[in-house]
Structure 1
């Protein structure tokens, strides 16, 4: 029986221990650290580890989901007020993306992506891409309601996030600047949303 079809409650506690141990080990030693090291940190046998996850890649996916994917999925949609809703939504995504652990994971991915391209793909798919996809769905609804005109909602969603998150996140990951303060982040988001809506909002005479 694999991790995919085993009852959730039965495997959650061991998986939580593994996720915490893997995060600690990878941030300290890099993704090349062995599963034996992770098993030892988790206080589990290697056999038990592979009873919980099938591979190192599956464990990395679980780490991304635990610290980014689940938080992003729980944010919900912006609501009906375009400006306020978009500001609130982008801020929620930024708070997740610029947190200490996601920034640490990005630092890990940047360092290891050439040797382990699959972790870069997982980081993107389970984190940033998920946020872009969720917002794109909401933008499509607003277009259908006649409130926005956006020819490509995925592209527009990526552009909006691109004005806010990648720069501060990359600088924090490289250690050249701290993450923005809440006040700095609010100003940046407000400006980005204003620019975005100036090009996308349908204004009725």
Structure 2
């Protein structure tokens, strides 16, 4: 039987944003294990009682911080409202937003925390996946469906294609940053990965008229 790993219902009040913002800063600086409730409350400028009134434990607070940030990045990656945007333009814009997130300090620290804590709290990794990669995948699938209907893409498996596009964005730069081989890539390195990802994706799935 599958475990229910969803976070409990979160109370929303006037100090909710204050608590989440303070927690975000502490988690980035100290990691999950080093982020004490006392430290989070102090950074947020609230009492421990107030913090606990919103979040019953640190795990729930971490999940909420992660979900918010990932959802924000997914929204930024697919801000195009119209279905008429040419596929190369759309993919390039999405890739630029994805790269901005993948090379951010937040992404790397949260990624490491989720991996480090996955055995004790498997729901952390699951929530990170659902609120980040899975959310973006679902939105890419919707766009790919429309692009296929317009004849710009030819994709037999849009779910697989959406996952593949996200993985293309992790080539070279991302893995080097995760393992501290590369500290801060320059724009030329980022553009190389972005352009390569879009070119490879369209070489596989682009209809002839859309690859130019």
In the superposition, the TM-score normalised over structure 1's length comes to 0.82
Cross-structure match for 1:142? 147
Q: Offset of 1:58 from its aligned partner?
A: 3.2
Q: Offset of 1:86 from its aligned partner?
A: 0.7
Cross-structure match for 1:66? 68
Q: Offset of 1:119 from its aligned partner?
A: 1.1
Q: Can you give the 5+ residue segments of structure 1 that lack an aligned partner in the other structure? A: none
State which of 91, 94, 102 in structure 2 corresponds to 1:97. Answer: 102
1:44, 1:19 → 2: CA distance? 11
1:154 aligns with 2:156: no
Change (3 A) 1:184 1:136: same
Aligned residues: 197
Change (3 A) 1:15 1:182: farther
Q: Offset of 1:114 from its aligned partner?
A: 2.0
Q: Deviations over 1:86-138 (max 9, x none)?
A: 11111112112221112221122222222221111111111122122211110
In the superposition, the TM-score normalised over structure 2's length comes to 0.80
Cross-structure match for 1:169? 174
Cα RMSD of the aligned pairs, angstroms, is: 2.4
Change (3 A) 1:157 1:105: same
Q: Can you give the 5+ residue segments of structure 2 that lack an aligned partner in the other structure? A: 1-8
Q: Deviations over 1:51-72 (max 9, x none)?
A: 2234434322321233331132
